[in-house]
Structure 1
Amino acid sequence: MLIQSHIVDLETPTGTMRTYVHRPAGEGRFPAILFYSEIFQQTGPIERAARFLAGHGYAVLVPEVFHELNPIGTVLAYDDAGRDKGNADKAAKDVQGYDSDNRAMIEWVQSQPWFNGNIGAAGFCIGGHLAFRAALQPEVKATACFYATDLHTQIIPSKPGQHSMERLADIKGELLMIWGKQDNHIPTAGRVQVYQQLTDAGLSFTWHEFNGQHAFMRDEGERYDPQLAAIGYQLALQLFGNTL
């Protein structure tokens, strides 16, 4: 499908959130995917990933995940300074801010004439965690989490009972969890912990571990694995095709 892209600035309780919308250019009604970036916000690789999904028939919304902490339009570089700034923003933003961000996007997309009523979520790195967080919203029917960081830690600020893994009962949709075995951000023990908690909660999920490093989906840098990326996209599109 040919696609179109535009920007909407959504009001949230914590300020204006720029959101990039990529969707099919033709007439019709389409499912929406809330798509969450790495700590660097909408970089070139994230925009290309969003446009790739849009080309398969989805309206893809990419929010600026740290909109409260940066000027509108901020994109961090894939370097030490960008990583340090992104990690500082991650440590500064309260987890409830992501919940209100999700509500703002869901309410906006529900008002659009091209929306077909079905919502999914996806994301890479911290975006994988934020996609998981979006799955707490009752409207989200399917979620693809790629190497989701900090599900097994308390790094993202949250009050007791508000950590994402403490609210598994709120997840009603299907999950796709994709990991790299050589990912030094998410050790084996952390993956085992997450798997066991999802299993104990009786959630509907599929689980895939590949011989890949952190960010193996990112089509920039030496950790990119095109073959694994193709498999990852295929799995996500299968999930969304079956549910949305």
Structure 2
Amino acid sequence: MIIQSASVDLQTPTGTMRTYVHRPKTDGKVPAILFYSEIFQQTGPIERAARFLAGHGYAVLVSEVFHELNPIGTVLAYDDAGRDKGNADKMAKDVQGYDSDNRAMIEWLSQQAWYDGKLGAMGFCIGGHLAFRAALQPEVRATACFYATDLHSQVIPNQPGQHSMERLADIGGELLMLWGKQDPHIPAAGRAQVYQRLVQAERNFTWHEVNGQHAFMRDEGDRYDAQLASIGYQLAFDLFDRNLRIG
């Protein structure tokens, strides 16, 4: 499937948010996926992943998650300086800021003639958490979270009662949670905490733990695991096919 890529600058309560749109080149209507990057924003691996999703028949929106804290177009490098800057940005943006970002993208989508009204979310690392956060929006039917960081912690600033795990009742769609057991950023105790909370809240979710390191989906660097990445994409496509095409 041939795809096309462009960008749009959306206005949010916290400033202009550059959003990259990758979608099939077709005259028909398609479902959409809000796709959330790591702390580095739309790097090469993130763009390739977004285009891969789009090539399977989805319009994929990649927002600059730290748009309030960086010039438009900022991409951080996969090095110590980029990691330090990205982690500082993560600890500077209140989690509720992502809610208004999500509303801006959803409202923009609703005005697009090619959008069929069915919406999912997906993300890696902090993007896995932000996809989980997007699941709070009533329009989101299915969400794939890959090694979602900080669901078990208080690293991302939040107001009382606004931590993502305190708002599980707002999640109405299906969740896919995929973790690497050798990921030092989300230890076994943290994963267990998230699992128990989801069970107690009676959310609709599937849970997978694989022998992988953090960032095993990223097709760059020593931690990339192509076989696990293939499994991850297959699980995500199954989720989206059932909820955005059939369901």
Does the alignment reach a TM-score above 0.5? Answer: yes
Partners in 1 of 2:147 and 2:96 — Cα distance?
Answer: 21
Spell out, residue by residue over 1:164-209, the C-alpha distance to the aligned partner (whole angstroms, 9 max, x if none).
0000000000000000000000000000000000000000000000
Structural mapping, 1:1-244, within 5 Å = 1-244=1-244
Partners in 2 of 1:162 and 1:182 — Cα distance?
Answer: 29
Partners in 2 of 1:180 and 1:103 — Cα distance?
Answer: 30
Partners in 2 of 1:30 and 1:201 — Cα distance?
Answer: 32
Spell out, residue by residue over 1:191-235, the C-alpha distance to the aligned partner (whole angstroms, 9 max, x if none).
000000000000000000000000000000000000000000000
**2:68 alignment partner, SS class:** helix
Letter in 2 for 1:106: I
Partners in 2 of 1:2 and 1:173 — Cα distance?
Answer: 29
Task: Compute the displacement of 1:26 (Å).
Answer: 1.5
Give structure 1 regions of 4+ aligned residues with deviation exceeding 6 angstroms.
none
Task: Mark the runs of 5 or more structure 2 residues left unpaired by the alignment.
Answer: none
**1:81 alignment partner, SS class:** helix
C-alpha RMSD of matched pairs (Å): 0.3
**1:149 alignment partner, SS class:** coil
Task: Compute the displacement of 1:55 (Å).
Answer: 0.3
Partners in 2 of 1:4 and 1:144 — Cα distance?
Answer: 23
Count of matched residue positions in the alignment of Structure 1 and Structure 2: 244
**1:4 alignment partner, SS class:** strand
**1:198 alignment partner, SS class:** helix
Partners in 2 of 1:34 and 1:180 — Cα distance?
Answer: 22
Partners in 2 of 1:26 and 1:169 — Cα distance?
Answer: 37
**1:68 alignment partner, SS class:** coil
Letter in 2 for 1:233: Y
Partners in 1 of 2:43 and 2:139 — Cα distance?
Answer: 27
Task: Compute the displacement of 1:160 (Å).
Answer: 1.0
Spell out, residue by residue over 1:104-159, the C-alpha distance to the aligned partner (whole angstroms, 9 max, x if none).
00000011000001000000000000000000000000000000000000000001
Partners in 1 of 2:98 and 2:175 — Cα distance?
Answer: 19
Task: Mark the runs of 5 or more structure 1 residues left unpaired by the alignment.
Answer: none
* TM-score under structure 1 length normalisation: 1.00
Spell out, residue by residue over 1:16-37, the C-alpha distance to the aligned partner (whole angstroms, 9 max, x if none).
0000000001211000000000
